[in-house]
Structure 1
Amino acid sequence: MVATLETNRLKLRKMTVDDTDEVFENWTSSENVATYLTWAPHSEIEVTKNYLTFEEHNRNEGWGIVLKETNQLIGNISVVDDKPKTKTKALGYVLGEKFWNQGYMSEALIEVIDFLFETTDVNRIEAEHDTENPGSGRVMEKAGMTFEGILREAKLNNRGIVDVALYSILRSERK
């Protein structure tokens, strides 16, 4: 069961197949949003429905990001890799472009980091971004994550094989 989290402006909750129309409209169909991601923009709403069906039944650490003011679903944030042996969780996130540069993703990331440190035995939380997408790195920095370095030509996304910047925060660094 995914816990519902709240910040001043946001509610983070489990996404369901009932969110299909809003998710498709706000981010999965956007070429701009998908530029630095590993999945192609959804050309048909059925692709988003299939994605949300999977999320609803398989993701225990994933949240849709809802604006409290309008009850609009604007993005999502999830644990995309869990490494129990090293007590490490990797996070991934996406936000609809009309909601960029308003501090929403940093607010959501801080809440998820705090939640994971408070409710799990995780010691390290990490995230990475395509180096051509520095805005994502600023989100990580605002959330207290430390830049660790560049992994050269280490990932494949919609731009091809790319360099990625790696960030992390350790339990001992949590404020």
Structure 2
Amino acid sequence: MDKERLIERLPKLETERLMLRKIRTDDMEDMFEYCSMEDVAAYVNWHAHQSIEDTKVFLNHIVEQKTVFFGIEYKENHKLIGTINFVSWNQKHQKAEIAYILSKLYWRKGIITEAIKAIIQFGFTTMNLERIEARCIEDNLGSEGVMKKAGMFYEGTLRNSMFTKGKYRNLKLYSILKDEA
């Protein structure tokens, strides 16, 4: 599918507990709630949000981006509890990289694994991908565990691959191929 058209007409994806949908400007309060959590921001390249204005800037950046970006809505309470997206998509090589974030209030419940499995399926069927990658900071054991549970395979560690919060970080690279999903 054409990248611009897909982004324009981003479908809703439904799982047992989640609705993966386009981010909206009225998601700001929910997003601020989890983006202001220090533990949530510990392994990403941005700092915990200090004000709703930080979240407004972040949300506007997401809305303006030309990427496949889903909000994770918990169906039980219709609350936005995180995001999952394709941070890069190379159509020529039929590969993409996913990234995700989830409110600490929903950790260790299998929710992000559920979302990743839906996104992987979407990538292989709708986006016609052959390969999907994900990375995490080396000591982010929770995220690494999620990638394994989603069926991804460890490929190696990218040394000093990301400079964030004043220092270089090693990133672990995981991937899954279409015929492995």
TM-score, reference length from structure 2: 0.91
Matched, 1:5 2:13: yes
Alignment gaps of 5+ in structure 1: none
Matched residues, number = 173
Does the 8 Å contact 1:126/1:169 carry over to 2? yes
Matched, 1:98 2:98: no
Amino acid at match of 1:173: E
Match of 1:22 in 2: 30
* Equivalent position to 2:115, from 101, 105, 108: 108
Amino acid at match of 2:73: V
Aligned residue runs from structure 1 range 10-159, under 5 A: 10-25=18-33, 27-158=34-165
Amino acid at match of 1:3: P
Structure 1 CA distance for aligned equivalents of residues 165 and 111 of structure 2: 24
Shift of 1:150: 0.9
Does the 8 Å contact 2:82/2:101 carry over to 1? yes
Shift of 1:157: 2.7
Which runs of at least 4 in structure 1 moved beyond 6 Å after TM superposition? none
Structure 1 CA distance for aligned equivalents of residues 23 and 88 of structure 2: 18
Cα deviation 1:1-26 (Å, max 9, x = unaligned): 2110010011111111111011001x
Shift of 1:85: 2.6
Structure 2 CA distance for aligned equivalents of residues 90 and 110 of structure 1: 14
Structure 2 CA distance for aligned equivalents of residues 130 and 159 of structure 1: 14
Cα deviation 1:52-104 (Å, max 9, x = unaligned): 12322334411111111111111100110112232110000001111111100
Shift of 1:159: 6.5
- The DSSP-based 3-state class of the residue aligned with 1:85 is coil
Does the 8 Å contact 1:37/1:158 carry over to 2? no
TM-score, reference length from structure 1: 0.94
Give identity over the alignment, percent: 39
Structure 1 CA distance for aligned equivalents of residues 35 and 166 of structure 2: 17
Shift of 1:122: 1.2
Shift of 1:50: 2.0
Structure 2 CA distance for aligned equivalents of residues 160 and 146 of structure 1: 27
Structure 1 CA distance for aligned equivalents of residues 51 and 160 of structure 2: 31
Cα deviation 1:21-46 (Å, max 9, x = unaligned): 11001x21122111110111111211
1:148–1:112 Cα change, 3 Å? same
